[in-house]
Amino acid sequence: MDRPYSLLALLVSVLLCITLVSIPSGSAEPVTAGTPDGSELWGYVEVRPKAHLFWWYYKSPQRTSTPTKPWPTVLWLQGGPEMGPLDVNLQPRNSTWLQKADLIFVDNPVGVGYSYVEDDSLLVKTDWEQAADAMTLLKALVKEVPTLQSSPLFLVAESYGGKYAATLGVAVARAVRAGELNITLGGVALGDSWISPEDFTLSYTPVLLSVSRLDDNAGDEASKIAETVKEQIAAGNFTDAEGSWSDILQFINTRSGGVDVYNFLTGSLDPASSSASTPTGSSFPSTVHGMTKYSRYLSGEDSGPNTIYGIMNGVIKDKLKIIPKNLTWVMENRAVYNGLINDIMKPRIDEIDELLSYGVNVTVYNGQLDIICSTIGAEAWVQKLNFLSLPRQSLYCNPSKSTKGFSRSYKNLHFYWILGAGHYVPVDQPCIALSMIGSITQSPAS
Ligand SMILES: *[C@@H]1O[C@H](CO)[C@@H](O)[C@H](O)[C@H]1NC(C)=O
Ligand SMILES: *[C@@H]1O[C@H](CO)[C@@H](O)[C@H](O)[C@H]1NC(C)=O
Ligand SMILES: *[C@@H]1O[C@H](CO)[C@@H](O)[C@H](O)[C@H]1NC(C)=O
Ligand SMILES: *[C@@H]1O[C@H](CO)[C@@H](O)[C@H](O)[C@H]1NC(C)=O
Ligand SMILES: *[C@@H]1O[C@H](CO)[C@@H](O)[C@H](O)[C@H]1NC(C)=O
C-alpha cells in the first residue's frame, strides 16, 4: 500500500423508506429532511461558508428512556455500515447498535461521503479545524434532533476517527462546561484509534515478528524506518514523518508477503483479486490489501450484487433528495488526506488526558489482530496516561462460554481487548461489539 487512505474512509449506513423533505429556509440555515415518522432525520449544516457537513440520525425502535436511565445516542466517527441498521444489500443487520442507542452518522470531515466544500481550499488542515466544524454541526443538531438534549451523547470512533473524537470530545466538554452547549457528554470511545502514531509505528516490527510475517532481517530494517518516524515526530517534521510512515507500510507490504495490516490473520490477497475489487472511481494506487477486504465487505461482493458506491450514488441518493445532483459520494478522498497531511502523525494523547481530567468516561477498545493500530501500540500510549496494572475481567457473548475479550477500568478510563478482531471490530466480532457498546453507553437495553 502507498497510503492508508482507509484511515480517512467514511461511510454512512443505509435504510430505505418513504421520505419527506422540508423546505430549506435560507442558505445558511440547516437543511433537514427525514421520514414521516421521525425515526430518521438527515441534513446538511453549512459549518463555514461553502463548507457543508452531512449528517444522518436514526432513532432506535427499542428506545425506552427514564430520567434515571436515559436512552443514549452514539455519534459515530469514521466508517459506518458496520453497525447501522441495514447492510449494503439493504437487508437488516441483526447486530446493529441501534438495539442499544440512537445513532448519528456524520460524513466527516468536509469532502468525504455526501459532505462537500465548494472550493478545495476550504478542506480542513488540522484535527482541531475538524473539531470546530463538528461543534458547529452539533450546536445545530441540538435544535434539529429533538431527542438530543435529554440523551447522553457518546462519541464513538474508529481508526483516524479517534483523533477527531479526541479533539471534538475536548471541544464539547469545554463548551458544556462553559454553558455554550446544552447536552450531556456521556463518554468517548476509541476503537482501534490512531491516537499516538509514534507508538503504533514502533509496534509494527514486534507484532509482525511475533506472528512470523517478518524475519529478523526485515525486522531490523523496519525498526530503522520506525526510528526515523519517531525522530521526525520529535523534531516536529510531521509531513516528513507521514512520508516515512508510508515507507514503512510499503516495506512491510513487500517483505511480509502482503500481510493485511487491518487483520493479520486475513492473509495475503493476490494482486489480481486485489486490484479487481478496488472500488471503482478510486484513484488510489492499488489500495491497501486490508482495505480491499473491507471494501469487499462493504460492497457486499461476497453476498450480493450491490456495491457501496452503487447504492450511495443511486437508491440512497434518490431517497435523501437533498444531495446536490452533481455530487458523487466517495468513501475516500485524497484531497482530504492531503489537506490533513501535516496533522496525520500528530498525537492526541494530551486531549485524552484533558477529557479524563474533566471526569469524562473514556473507553479504549482494540481488536487483537489489528496491525495498523495494534493493541500493543494502544497499550503503549495508554501507559503514558499512567493507566494502572489492575486485573482484567473476561468477557463473554451469550450463549457461548468462550472468552471473547477482556476489560479493565481505572476511574473513568476503560480498556477493552477484543479477541479475534482486526481493525474493524464491529465487522469481525459483532456480538461482543454490540454487548460492549451497551455497557459503554449504559443502555437501558443492556
Ligand atoms: C445474527 O445472524 C448471524 C448469521 O447471520 C447468526 O449467526 C447470529 O446468531 C445472529 N445473531 C442474533 C443475535 O440473532
Ligand atoms: C438544557 O436541556 C435540558 C434537558 O432537555 C432542559 O431541561 C433545559 O431547559 C435546557 N437548558 C437550556 C438553557 O436550554
Ligand atoms: C526536520 O526538518 C529539518 C528541516 O526540514 C531538518 O533540518 C531536520 O534534519 C529534520 N529533522 C529530522 C529528525 O528529520
Ligand atoms: C455542482 O453544481 C454547482 C452549481 O450548479 C457548481 O457550483 C459546482 O461547482 C458543481 N460541483 C461539481 C463538483 O461539479
Ligand atoms: C462513567 O461510566 C460509569 C459506568 O461505566 C457510570 O457509572 C458513570 O456514571 C459514568 N460517569 C460519567 C461522568 O458519565
pLDDT digits (tens, 9 = 90+) for 294-311: 655 555 544 556 788 889
Active-site residue list: 159, 370, 423
Residue whose C-alpha cell reads 461521503 in the numeric block: 113
Instruction: Please give the distance, rounded to the nearest whole angstrom, from the Cα atom of residue 228 to the centre of ligand 3.
Output: 11
Whether the CB of 149 sits within 6 Å of ligand 2: yes
Whether the CB of 150 sits within 6 Å of ligand 2: yes
Instruction: Give the pLDDT band (50/70/90) at residue 178.
Output: very high
Mean pLDDT of all residues in 399-421: 93
Residue 108 scores a pLDDT above 90: yes
Atom 10 of ligand 4: nearest residue by CA position: 326
pLDDT per residue over 202-247, tens digit each? 999 999 999 999 999 999 999 999 999 999 999 999 999 999 999 9
pLDDT of residue 56: 97
CA distance 73 to 223: 42
CA distance 440 to 187: 8
Q: Compare 299 and 64 and report the one with higher pLDDT.
A: 64
Q: Which residues contact 216 (CB under 8 A, 6 or more apart)?
A: 209
pLDDT per residue over 360-401, tens digit each? 999 999 999 999 999 999 999 999 886 666 789 999 998 888
pLDDT of residue 296: 57
Which atom of ligand 2 lies nearest, measured to the CA of 150?
5
Which atom of ligand 4 lies nearest, measured to the CA of 324?
1
- Rg from Cα positions in the chain: 21
* Of 9-23, 73-87, 90-104, 227-241, the least confident: 9-23
Residue 177 scores a pLDDT above 60: yes
Q: Which residues line ligand 5 (CB under 6 A)?
A: 186, 359, 361, 412, 442
Rounded to the nearest 10°, the torsion over CA 405, 376, 216, 346 is: 140
Atom 2 of ligand 3: nearest residue by CA position: 237
18-197+346-440 CATH = 3.40.50.1820
What SS3 state is found at 121? helix
Residue 33 scores a pLDDT above 60: yes
Q: Which ligand is nearest to the CA of 94?
A: 1
What SS3 state is found at 72? coil
Mean pLDDT of all residues in 126-152: 97
Instruction: Please give the distance, rounded to the nearest whole angstrom, from the Cα atom of residue 99 to the centre of ligand 5.
Output: 20
Q: Compare 293 and 169 and report the one with higher pLDDT.
A: 169
CA distance 17 to 58: 13
Site to substitute for ligand 5 among 73, 412, 443, most atoms within 8 A of C-beta: 412
Residue 286 scores a pLDDT above 80: no
Residue 439 scores a pLDDT above 90: yes
Whether the CB of 235 sits within 6 Å of ligand 3: yes
Atom 10 of ligand 2: nearest residue by CA position: 182
Report which of 52, 40, 385 is spatially closest to residue 195, judged by C-alpha positions. Answer: 385
The residues that bridge with 362 in the sheet, in sequence order, are 188, 413
Mean pLDDT of all residues in 153-164: 96
The model scores a pTM over 0.85: yes
Site to substitute for ligand 3 among 229, 238, 240, most atoms within 8 A of C-beta: 240
Instruction: Please give the distance, rounded to the nearest whole angstrom, from the Cα atom of residue 325 to the centre of ligand 4.
Output: 9
pLDDT per residue over 297-356, tens digit each? 555 544 556 788 889 999 999 999 999 999 999 888 999 999 999 999 999 999 999 999
Residue whose C-alpha cell reads 480542513 in the numeric block: 124
Do the beta carbons of residue 347 and residue 399 sit within 8 Å? no
> What is the distance between the terminal CA atoms of the chain, rounded to a whole angstrom?
40
pLDDT of residue 54: 97
Q: Which ligand is nearest to the CA of 241?
A: 3
Q: Which three cell numbers stand for residue 142?
A: 441540538
Whether the CB of 143 sits within 6 Å of ligand 2: no
**Alpha-carbon dihedral sign for residues 51, 194, 302, 254:** positive
Q: Which residues line ligand 4 (CB under 6 A)?
A: 324, 326
Residue 425 scores a pLDDT above 70: yes
Q: Which ligand is nearest to the CA of 188?
A: 5
pLDDT of residue 385: 84
Q: Which three cell numbers stand for residue 178?
A: 462553559
Kindly report the number of other CB atoms within 10 A of residue 221's CB atom.
15
Kindly report the number of other CB atoms within 10 A of residue 385's CB atom.
15
* Of 26-40, 218-232, 430-444, the least confident: 26-40
Which atom of ligand 3 lies nearest, measured to the CA of 236?
1
CA distance 66 to 124: 39
Residue 192 scores a pLDDT above 50: yes
Do the beta carbons of residue 42 and residue 324 sit within 8 Å? no
Instruction: Please give the distance, rounded to the nearest whole angstrom, from the Cα atom of residue 147 to the centre of ligand 2.
Output: 12
Report which of 139, 171, 149 is spatially closest to residue 45, judged by C-alpha positions. Answer: 139
CA distance 428 to 367: 9
Exposure of 311 by Cβ count < 10 A (0-12 exposed, 13-18 middle, 19+ buried)? Answer: buried
Q: Domain map of the chain by residue range?
A: 18-197+346-440, 206-339
The DSSP 8-state label assigned to residue 92 in this structure reads: B
Instruction: Please give the distance, rounded to the nearest whole angstrom, from the Cα atom of residue 375 to the centre of ligand 5.
Output: 24
Q: What is the mean pLDDT of the chain?
A: 87
Whether the CB of 353 sits within 6 Å of ligand 3: no
Atom 5 of ligand 5: nearest residue by CA position: 440
Residue 252 scores a pLDDT above 90: yes
Q: Which ligand is nearest to the CA of 117?
A: 4
Which atom of ligand 2 lies nearest, measured to the CA of 149?
5
